[in-house]
Structure 1
Amino acid sequence: MNTILKASMAVLTLAIATPAFAQGTVDANASIGATSGGAGGAALGFVVGGPIGAVIGGFAGAVLGAEVGVAATTVEFAAANPVEPIYLDGAALGAVVPADVTIYPVEGDEQYGYVYANNRVWIVDLQSRALVQSPGYLVPQTAADYAIGNPVTSATVEGDVVVGYVVPEGVELVAVPEDPTYSYVYVNDRPALVDNSTRAIVWIN
C-alpha cells in the first residue's frame, strides 16, 4: 500500500550530539559495502565519491529500486538538471508525492518525472505520483561545510575509508543541524557525512 507523504521546504532541526566518542581502532575494509538493500554499481550519470553538488552512487545501498528499469537517459536527465531540494516526511519506495509538490518533467519521458528530496534524487511515476527509484544521494554544501567547521574527536580505523564504508555502531554520529538525513564523524582525522538510516559514508573530505 502506498504511503502519502507530507512535504515541507523547512527540514526538522536535530539536537546536536555531544561532539566526542571513544578513540578506537576498527577494520575499514571489513565494513565496506555492508549496507543492505539497493544495488551495487554506479547508475549512469552518477559518481562514486564525487564532488559537492554531484549525485553519489556506486555502492551497495546507494541505489533504491534499480529493478524498476527506469531508462538511463531519465536518470541522467535528473542528475544533470538540479531542482529545488525539499523534505518529504516518510520518503521511501512506493510512497506517494503530495499533490501540492511539484514533480519535474524529464525531457523525452512521458512516464517518469523527478524530485530532489531528503538528500536524494527520486524518480517519480507521473500517473500514480509514487516514488519508484532513487539513483543516489545528494551532498549539500552546507552539510559538508558544517562538518569541516565543527571538528570532533576522530575515530581511528585501519584500511581505506571510502564512500560506502559503514560506520561501526560503537562510533557516535554527530547531528548536522537542520538536516534530518545526515550526521557526521571524523575518521582518521577526516570529516565524513553519514546517512542516518544506513550509517554509510556518503562524502569524505
Structure 2
Amino acid sequence: MRNTLILAGAAALMTLAASAHAQETVIIQQAPVATQSTIVVPAPVETYVMQREVRSVPYEGDVLVGRVIEDPVELYPVDGYDNYSYTVVNERRVIVDPQTRQIIQIIE
C-alpha cells in the first residue's frame, strides 16, 4: 500500500511538473511570407513575342521579373493584347506591363 501511495504521489508530481513546464512554453507564429504575384501570360502573347525580330538593347543591371524598364528603352505593343508590351534587353526577350513598364515575364 505504501509503495502504491508513493508511486501515485510521484505520478501526480510529474504531472504537475509537466503542466508547469508547458505553461512556460511560448509559441511564436510567423506571418506568411509575401511573394510576388505570378502573372500568367497568355500563350498567344508569348508566341507573338518569340516571332518578332527586334534589335536587342543594352541595359545596365540584371534583367529580372519586377524590374522597371526605364524610358529610353522602346516597348513594342502586342497586337490584340493591350495589357502587354515587349522588348529585347541584353539579348533576353521580356514581356512588360505597358502602364508601369515593369517586366512581368522573361522568355527563355
Gaps of 5+ in 1: 1-40, 43-57, 59-134
Q: Does 1:168 align with 2:60?
A: no
In the alignment, which of 88, 96, 108 is matched to residue 194 of structure 1?
A: 96
String of CA shifts for 1:68-98, please: whole Å, max 9, x gaps.
Answer: xxxxxxxxxxxxxxxxxxxxxxxxxxxxxxx
TM-score (norm 1): 0.34
Counterpart for residue 145 of structure 1: 47
User: SS of 1:147's equivalent?
Assistant: helix
- The separation in 1 between residues aligned to 2:95 and 2:72, in whole angstroms, is 16
Structure 1: which amino acid aligns with 2:96? V
- The separation in 1 between residues aligned to 2:70 and 2:87, in whole angstroms, is 11
Kindly indicate which of the two structures has a greater share of residues assigned to helix.
Answer: 2
* Shift in Å, 1:144: 1.0
Q: Does 1:154 align with 2:47?
A: no
* Structure label with greater radius of gyration: 2
Runs (4+) off by over 3 Å: none
- The separation in 2 between residues aligned to 1:152 and 1:161, in whole angstroms, is 17
TM-score (norm 2): 0.63
- The separation in 1 between residues aligned to 2:106 and 2:53, in whole angstroms, is 13
Structure 2: which amino acid aligns with 1:164? G
Contact 1:155 1:188 in 2 (8 A): yes
- The separation in 2 between residues aligned to 1:158 and 1:196, in whole angstroms, is 20
- The separation in 2 between residues aligned to 1:144 and 1:199, in whole angstroms, is 17
Which fold has the larger relative contact order, with Cα–Cα distance below 8 Å and residues 6 or more apart in sequence? 1
Counterpart for residue 82 of structure 2: 180
Within-5 A mapping of 1:98-137: 136-137=38-39
Contact 1:151 1:186 in 2 (8 A): no
Structure 1: which amino acid aligns with 2:50? I
Kindly indicate which of the two structures has a greater share of residues assigned to strand.
Answer: 1
* Shift in Å, 1:153: 1.1
User: SS of 2:101's equivalent?
Assistant: coil
Percent identical pairs in the alignment equals 38
Counterpart for residue 105 of structure 2: 203
Gaps of 5+ in 2: 1-33
